[in-house]
Amino acid sequence: MSWLFLFRLLLAGVLLVLLSPITDPPLLAARHPLAAWVTLGGYAVLVLASGLAMYAGWPSKDHQVQLAVFVDVACFTVLLHIAGGIETGLGLLLAISVAAGALLLEGRLSLVFAAMAATGVIGEQLYSQFALGTSLNGLSRAGLLGITYFAVALLAHVLYRRIRAAEHLAEQRRVDIEDLYTLNDFIIRKMETGVVVVDDNHNLRLMNAAAGHLLGRPDSVGGEPLEEVSPTLADWVNQAGADGRARVHRVIRVHDREIQPTLEILGSDVAKGALVFLQDTQELAHQAQQIKLAALGKLTGSIAHNIRNPLAAISHAGQLLGESSVLPQDDRHLVDIIARNAARIDETVQSILQLSRRNQSEAQNVELAAWLSDFYSDWSEDKGFPIEYLTLEIAQAPLYVRADPRHLHQILSNLCDNAANHARGTGPYANIQVRAGRDHDTGRAIIDVLDDGPGVDSETAREIFDPFFTTSSTGTGLGLYIARELADTNAVRLSYSPRPVGGSCFRLTFAA
């Protein structure tokens, strides 16, 4: 509607200049120049009034278009007569009004507008012929001009229908694209795999929640340089793009996480933008751990039947043999060896069965301060460990973590057992210290189990988490292995480091 108003206003201004009586003769020849100029002045006023009506929104849009076409037909017909008839060519202006009305009113009144224009032109020509005695040739021209109006109206109607069909199709496509975009955005943001999209300037275009979590920037939004979000990942993308390979698999370390990125180049090279998939190796290890423990659960069923039952028979037979009154002393020593080693095998099998029974993690929100206090007293009482040798320090409370309480109890119990058995200091017992708080660098919850024993040398430290590795003649070598397996199952990182003052430190680092 606004473009029609501007066109009519511009047309009125141009015609006022062309028919201005200031120039003698006027730029556009007219039979009565002053009357034509006055008519155009009135037309310009009506056009301005239509602009005010359009701004006010009254009357309705359809009524405003109808009034505009009616005013155009009336004014241009009068102007046509005053200016000199069909020969002036001003009759073509009516075709524009007819076409505008047909397009703006969906073609419903296009033929009515054409009939009004044709009637006005033919009526003006008949009046001029009979009243003024003009040539008969003008009547045929008026008839052809009337036919032109109808043709313009019909063509405008057809054009309008096609335009509306195209607009409807475009609207459908727009809705489909918006729905698809929303669906894709929802899927990407809910993916457990991190997704990062960068443009040709290596500015961040998209980063889902998983990627924000992995990179430690959950609040990042589009438009930031990748260098600011993660310098490590930005360097890797630059290096991978320089290698000229579409897919690059390599492990990088961001904060305390090991991440495996995969690069997908969008275009012929990385200068066109890139799509980076991020996978947490800890999560991959956790999934592999679940599969491994599930397989172990099946294996232990056979172990219970094929080892424990014969072992129980051996132990029982050795016990009966040891109760014999006629058994020589040397043979009693052999019976003790049988009993001692049978008990060691049974402990090993019991450890494996214990691990397999807890293969599925049932994570809960655990408040460490209260939970560690309960563990502190339970473990000390259960193991008969003097309370004065056990210290509990909690740097922050409340401190919530996500883990399976059963698994966490088993992990800490194994770590404390290991300290009590292998790390005796100068006194009869090892001094065991359990500390809970947050890591200064990453802000993640941690639990440290420290002792004042001799510590572990660097060669042995690489093997302490291997199954069946032990430095004791009576140990099974499964305590630390089970602790590491259960920690991995709960997405908790168990690591060892020597203490600067001597002794060992086993640290549990929980997921964010």
When computed from its CA atoms, the radius of gyration of the chain, rounded to whole angstroms, is 46
Q: Say if residue 33 is in the same domain as residue 143.
A: yes
Q: Say if residue 338 is in the same domain as residue 384.
A: no
Q: Say if residue 298 is in the same domain as residue 267.
A: no
Q: What is the pLDDT of residue 355?
A: 59
* Mean pLDDT rounded to a whole number for the chain: 78
271 versus 502: which is more confidently predicted? 502
Residue 183 placed within a domain: no
CA 494/CA 497 separation, integer angstroms:
10
pLDDT one-digit tens code per residue, 392-448: 888 877 888 888 888 888 899 989 988 888 766 556 778 888 999 988 877 889 999
CA 486/CA 478 separation, integer angstroms:
12
Side chain identity at residue 88, one-letter code: T
Given 284, 310, 338, the domain boundary residue is 284
Q: What is the pLDDT of residue 287?
A: 67
Q: What is the pLDDT of residue 246?
A: 46
Residue 353 placed within a domain: yes
Confidence bin at 294 (pLDDT 50/70/90): low
Q: Say if residue 312 is in the same domain as residue 417.
A: no
Residue 184 placed within a domain: no
Q: Say if residue 335 is in the same domain as residue 256.
A: no
Q: What is the pLDDT of residue 296?
A: 64
> Which residues in 80-116 are b (16+ Cβ under 10 Å) and which e?
bbbbbbbebebbebbbbbbbbbbbbbebebbbbbbbb
Q: What is the pLDDT of residue 447?
A: 92
CA 431/CA 463 separation, integer angstroms:
24
pLDDT one-digit tens code per residue, 37-47: 778 788 888 88
- The CATH code of the domain that includes 336 is 1.10.287
Peptide linkage before 26 cis (omega within 30 of 0): no
Q: Say if residue 74 is in the same domain as residue 111.
A: yes
Given 229, 256, 284, the domain boundary residue is 284
Peptide linkage before 467 cis (omega within 30 of 0): no
CA 303/CA 478 separation, integer angstroms:
16
Confidence bin at 507 (pLDDT 50/70/90): very high
Q: Say if residue 160 is in the same domain as residue 206.
A: no
Given 284, 315, 332, the domain boundary residue is 284
* Of the candidate ranges 244-248, 377-381, 464-468, the one whose mean pLDDT is the lowest: 244-248
Q: Say if residue 38 is in the same domain as residue 141.
A: yes
Q: How many domains does the chain have?
A: 4
Average pLDDT over residues 99-115: 75
Q: What is the pLDDT of residue 2?
A: 77
Residue 181 placed within a domain: no
Contacts of 116 (CB under 8 A, 6+ apart): 69, 70, 73
In the DSSP assignment, the letter for residue 87 is G
Q: Say if residue 21 is in the same domain as residue 68.
A: yes
Do 126 and 139 touch, CB atoms closer than 8 A? Answer: yes
> Which residues in 15-44 are b (16+ Cβ under 10 Å) and which e?
beebbbeeeeebebebeebebbbebbeebb
Q: What is the pLDDT of residue 201?
A: 81
Residue 497 placed within a domain: yes
Question: Two tokens at 507?
Answer: 């640290």
Q: Say if residue 351 is in the same domain as residue 422.
A: no
Residue 176 placed within a domain: no
- The CATH code of the domain that includes 262 is 3.30.450.20
CA 504/CA 500 separation, integer angstroms:
9
Residue 175 placed within a domain: no
Residue 388 placed within a domain: yes
Q: Say if residue 299 is in the same domain as residue 445.
A: no
Range of the domain at 132: 2-169
CA distances to 273, 427, 452, 461, 476 from 471, rounded to whole Å, are: 54, 21, 18, 11, 10
Contacts of 103 (CB under 8 A, 6+ apart): 156, 159, 160, 163
Q: Say if residue 7 is in the same domain as residue 150.
A: yes
5 versus 392: which is more confidently predicted? 392
CA distances to 57, 201, 355 from 306, rounded to whole Å, are: 92, 65, 18
β-strands 390-394, 432-438 pairing: parallel
CA 409/CA 375 separation, integer angstroms:
7
